[in-house]
Amino acid sequence: MEISPKAFQELLALVDSLRREIDELKKENLVLKERIHELEHPKNSGNSSIPPSKDDNRIKRNQSLRAGTGKKSGGQPGHKGHTLEMVATPDEIIHHKPSVCKSCGRALSGLASTVCEARQVVEIPPIQPIHVEHRRHSTVCTCGCLNRANFPERVKSPIQYGETVESLVTYLSVGQYIPYNRIVSMLSGLFHIPLSEGSVSNIINRFANRAKPFYEQIRKEIEASAVVGADETGARMNGEKWWFWTWQNNQGTYTTASRNRAFATVDANFPEGFPKAVLVSDRYGAHLKTEAYAHQLCISHLFRDLNYLIELTGAKALKRVKELLRQAVFLKSQLRPVDYQQPNPVRSYIRRETLKVLLGDHCNEHRKVRSLMKALSRSKNHIFEFLYHEHVQPDNNASERAIRNVKVKQKVSTMFKSELGIANYAIIRSVFDTCAKRNIPALHACKIINQYPE
C-alpha cells in the first residue's frame, strides 16, 4: 500500500512528537526517582538539626554521634555519691520502750532501759507564712519639733510580699518553668500565701528591672571573652513567631528575645562583634557574618549533615570528609596545651586532605552534595580552628544546652503572652544560667538581686 507524501510527512511529525514526549517523560522519571529516593531517606535528629521530638521513629542507639568510651555504664570509679545520712543532733527524739516482757508477760515500767538502735525520719514541719509589721514612731523634741522615723526603702505599701516570696515566685517561673496559674496554686496550697496571677507578673517585672545591671554586665563579659558560642531557636509570643538568641562561654550566658532571625539582632546586641573571640556556631549566615577574631563551625552539625547525605547518596567524597573530621576530633583529645602553637604534621595532613576533597570536582555528584561542598569550601577556614586554640571545642553543644530551656519553658508553660514577658524571661534566664556556671544557686541569686532597688 503506497503512502502519500502528505501522510508520510504527518507520520514523521507524529514520530518526532512522540520522541520528544518520551524524552520529557524520561527526564521527569529521573526527577521523580530522585525525589522518591530522598523521601526514603528522611531527615531526623541523627542526620540533621531536627529535634528528637519530631522524629517519626526514634533512631537506634548504635546510630548516635558519640564515639564509644569503652567504659561500663553507671557510676565511674571516683564518682562522688550522695547518701542520706543521719544527723548527730536531731531536732526531736521519740523514745520507744517495751511495755511488757514477751517471755513472761510482766510489766516493764519502772525498769531501766538502754538505747539499742536508732533510726531517723527526715520531715518538713507545717509551713505557715509570717507577717512582719513595721511600725513608724514619731517623737516630739524638747524644742517642739515633731520627728517621724522612716520606713525601710523597700516597705512601700500597707501590705506587701517580702523578698523571700518574690525570690521564690521568680525562681518557680523562670528556673522551674512553672506557669503563673500553677504558681498561684502552689503557693496557696503549700505555703498558705494568697497570690494572684497579676501579682506574679508584677513580681517578675520588678525582678527583671533589678536584674538589668547584672544582665548588661554579662553581655560585656561575653563581648570581651576569648571563646563565644552562639545559637538561636524559635519561640511563640502570643501566636507570633519570635526568636531567642544566645551567646555564651564557660562563665556566662547572655540570651535575648527578638522578632527576627536576621543579623540585625546580632548588631543590636553586639555592634562591635567579638574582636577577641573565636565564635563557635553552626553554618547560619548571621553568625558567620558577625565580626570575630576567628570562626569555628560546629563539627556535630557537620556530622549530621554528612550522615544524611551519605545515607541519601553514598558519596565517597562525603565519607572521606567525615573520616577526616573524626580524625581531627580525636587529635583534639590528644593535644597538650603546648602543642597548639607548635607545628603538627597530623593537623597539617588533616587540613590539607580536607581542602583537597572540598575543592575537588563534584560536578557529577548529587545536587545536595554539590551544595554542601560549595558551602564548606566558602567556610574552609572555619573548620579546624579548634585544633589551633586550646579552649575552643569542636562542637557547639554548650550553646544548644543554653538555648534548650526555651523549648522546655514552652512545653511546660505554652507560649509567651507579651513582649514584656518574653524580654523578662531572657533577662532572668541569663542571670540564672550565668549563676549556675559559677556555682551560685538560683535562689541565692534571687535573694541578692531582690535587695537592689528597681
Question: pLDDT per residue over 97-128, tens digit each?
Answer: 999 999 998 999 889 999 999 999 999 888 89
- State residue 28's pLDDT score: 86
Q: What is the mean pLDDT of residues 333-344?
A: 93
Question: Mean pLDDT across the chain, nearest whole number?
Answer: 90
Q: Which of 66-80, 203-217, 248-262 has the lowest mean pLDDT?
A: 66-80
Average pLDDT over residues 57-86: 69
pLDDT-derived band at 9 (thresholds 50, 70, 90) equals: confident
Look at residue 203 and tell me whether its pLDDT is greater than 90. Answer: yes
Residue-level pLDDT at 405: 94
Of 131-140, 212-221, 394-403, 441-450, the least confident: 441-450
Q: How far is CA 373 from the centre of its chain?
A: 29
Place of cell 571516683: 78
Q: How confident is the model over 31-45, as a mean pLDDT?
A: 75
Domain segments of the chain as ranges: 143-296+397-454, 299-395
**Reported pTM:** 0.78
Band (pLDDT 50/70/90 cuts) for residue 46 is low
Taking residues 306-330, what's their average pLDDT?
A: 93
With a pLDDT cut of 70, the percent of the chain lying above it is: 93
* Residue bearing the bigger pLDDT, 7 or 181: 181
pLDDT at 370: 93
Q: Please tell me the predicted confidence (pLDDT) of residue 26.
A: 87
Mean pLDDT of 261-283: 96
pLDDT at 86: 93
Q: What is the mean pLDDT of residues 138-148?
A: 94
Q: What is the pLDDT of residue 61?
A: 43
Compute the average pLDDT of residues 255-282: 96
pLDDT at 326 over 90: yes
> Which grid coordinates are listed for 422?
518574653
77 or 411, greater pLDDT: 411
- 218-234: pLDDT as tens digits: 999 999 999 999 999 99
Strands 292-297 and 274-281: parallel
pLDDT of residue 65: 63
pLDDT, tens digit, for every residue of 403-440?
999 999 999 988 899 999 999 999 999 999 999 999 99
